[in-house]
Structure 1
Amino acid sequence: MDFEPDRGLDAFRQEVRDFLHQHLPPELAGKHRSSIRSALPDLVRWQRILDSRGWGAPYWPEEHGGTGWSVLQRLAFDEECVAAGAPTLDGFAHKLLGPVLNHFASAQQKAEHLPGIFQASRLWCQGFSEPGSGSDLASLRTRAERDGDHYVVNGQKIWTSYAHEADWIFLLVRTDPSARKQAGISFLLVDMKSPGISVRPIHSIDGCHHLNETFFDNVRVPVANRIGEEGAGWSITKFLLNNEHATAADLPVLRRYLMQLQRMARELRVGTQALGQELGFALQVARFEAEVEAIAMLVKRVAAMEQAGDHSPAAHALGSVLKVRGTELQQRISEFMVQALGEYGAIAYATPEALDPAAEPLPEESLAQGIAMEMLFRRASTLYGGTSEVQRGILAKLLFQL
């Protein structure tokens, strides 16, 4: 791994900053300061601005219509967007489904589904987890029975984030109940407007509605909507989850947390002095800064291995390490931010985008906006995408192979 500064990356980062300064609408800039997905109109508007610049698929290779950016360029883009408070993208489409379509889909399927990602005219959700089949994903029971040119889907998915806003869902189903559990799974794309689909909200501990239960009652899905061969769903899912694990550390979010702590250090007071002058607070922030930099170095190492085409067990193991270390650090820093706010940390102030623009919060309230909600949201970080326990099990198996 090359530890020399990348001057080209510095120039790229400045290009992104200039673009954000010129093209991020003032009414959107700084509006989004939490890990919850942006409001739908903001997400769609921002996606179309990026697409008009040629950045509509910032994480994809050029041959698939993407920017062709390196892993480190993609990371710099994410960091600058977070720092500017830009709206989020449809992460399900860009980082999970998109690579699957580019790698496994037919030309006809790509022509059908990819344009909607570029224009945010087709938003997606993920139908993987089920009651009793979360960490043990291969035990899923939602079934799809072949009936001519269609599958008939019956079952239930849970924790389907943003299913209430999604146009389509990418879905794991069991097409061969007689096969061993990994071998009998297929990967379907399903229109959420299909008859027989119902969505029921789950209000999570952060007080928000982004999770759902999704039910399938004799839903007819064209066989043409299957990605890959029947029974190939598990291998496709492993491809998808490897991408998810490698990005789960969410370094841009960790850097945003450090920015919020630095603001607290300047603006919150303990008696007559700034909070940043309190030794215990300053020492803990310094420790967090060191841990975030360690995560950043590991991200760069994984990026270098990906650029080199290294798909060895060691490379896969580092993805799991990032998932564990990054998500557990997200929890610890967000908990510390709530503690640092003192009595203001006990109140779940709304995120900035949810506030009445006419309201004039106190300085402490302004700092506290969204922090408690963020801390509560991050309780799930070590669960989604494979629990920390599952990741440690993967690491143990991989280390045994080395």
Structure 2
Amino acid sequence: MRTQVAIIGSGPAGLLLGQLLTRAGIDNIILDRASKDYILGRVRAGVLEEGTVRLLDQAGASARLHAEALPHDGFSLAFDGRNHRIDLFDLTDGKRVTVYGQTEMTRDLLQQREGSDAPAIHEAENVAIHDFDSEKPFVTFEKDGTTSRIDCDFIAGCDGFHGVSRRSVPEKSIRTFERTYPFGWLGVLAEVPPVAHELIYANHPRGFALCSMRSMTRSRYYVQCSLDDKVEDWSDDRFWDELRRRLPEEEAAAVTTGASFEKSIAPLRSFVAEPMRFGRLFLAGDAAHIVPPTGAKGLNLAASDVHYLFEGLRDYYADKSMAGLDDYSRRALLRVWKAVRFSWSMTMLMHRFPDTGEFGQKIQEAELDYLTHSRAASTALAENYVGLPF
């Protein structure tokens, strides 16, 4: 097989890049070790920046989003028994975020892919990347007992933290930065109306909590938990009781409980790999960086990576200029580190750490009070939350 761009991974980053390339007339093949059902079964983030929505518009995959998504003009920080609203729309001159599940975004992009002539190969085994430091890279894989080869001009590694793309880079050529956090998030999905029409981030002596949603009838809730906790130790009743303890009294009384249909514990980490380009191999999304979900940046960072990479590839095929591709890693990492900083700061601000102590708790309370009573501080928070430009 021969194509212009081989894309490893059919998550949101790979599918979005593939759709943008296809609409620009650039041949591409998507390769993934997972099945479509597995990809659509993963429960992930759901807060989109305006830049991400614009890219979906550009990809022609936003019709259902605009019909069904929930635009949010603000969110709340809950502490000291009260809710404090951050007015995103006012503080950022009319910007907002959009609540739309990553699973739904992936479904829309998959449907666009299936409606085009662009090929996607799922359940590929033993995927390997070759000669990416030359002008003739290629990818090999096995499918139904047959080994195949894809020759290409460029390889986009969009296959996540555990994928083959980053692991294919020699250790001496890559530098990684990592921070692991001493707690996890226990999350549930339930077919119940959300407690509020906007997200609530709660700082409480018992730990962090987040009230989110996927629609007006489906809620997504989280509580900070120990990494030693097991999902089976958390009955629905125990979860709802703990959530309510961490919310202000009025919001706690408004929580609608019900049977959860998904429950999981996710560890939190910050991770960045530098650079994000190795010859003709480019890393994008979780293959290059992971952020804790506190700042709602993971999916949006994948989208900004795709934006920079697509621009570089489009310019190359339009006029043979390598300028955009040569500058891809620098441009992407500038935005990545700002988002990593914001996600880290939100995580440090909203969670209780084992060594927080009374002093650390007082510092958190002072910072939260400052953020909610200083317009300058609220503006900086809002600007980062709605997403820095790309």
TM-score (norm 1): 0.26
Question: Which has more strand, going by share of residues?
Answer: 2
Q: Which has the higher contact order (CA 8 A, sep 6+)?
A: 2
